[in-house]
Amino acid sequence: MIDGTERLAEMVAEGGVAVLTGAGISTDSGIPDYRGPDGAQIRHAPMTYQTFTRDPVARRRYWARSHVGWRTIARAAPNSGHRAVADLRDGGLLRGVITQNVDGLHQAGGCAEVIELHGNLDRVVCLDCGDGTMRDELDRRLRLVNPEFHAQVIAVNPDGDVDLPDEAVERFRLVGCRSCGRGTLKPDVVFFGETVPRPRVDASFALVESAKLLLVLGSSLTVMSGRRFVLRAAKLGIPVAIVNRGRRAVTRTRRSRWTRPSARCCPSSSAS
126 is in an annotated binding site: yes
Closest CA to 62 of 81, 80, 49: 49
User: 80 — phi, psi (to 5°)?
Assistant: -65, -30
Question: Which amino acid is located at 240 in the chain?
Answer: V
The annotation status of 266 as a binding-site residue, yes or no, is no
Vertex 243, ends 240 and 47: CA angle to 5°?
Answer: 105
In angstroms, the CA 177 to CA 260 distance is 43
Q: Is 111 annotated as a binding residue?
A: no
Is 44 designated active site? no
Whether 9 and 17 have beta carbons less than 8 Å apart is answered as no
Q: Per the residue annotation, which of 67, 82, 106, 118 is the catalytic one?
A: 118
Q: In sequence order, what are the residues at sequence separation of 6 or more whose Cβ sits closer than 8 angstroms to the Cβ of residue 229?
A: 20, 98, 204, 205, 208, 214
Of the candidates 147, 196, 157, the residue with the CA atom closest to the CA atom of residue 72: 157
The DSSP H or E segment spanning 90 is: helix 80-90
Please, are residues 31 and 156 in contact by the beta-carbon 8 Å criterion? yes
How long, in residues, is the chain?
A: 272
Binding-site sequence positions: 126, 129, 177, 180
Known catalytic residues are 118
Binding-site sequence positions for Zn(2+): 126, 129, 177, 180
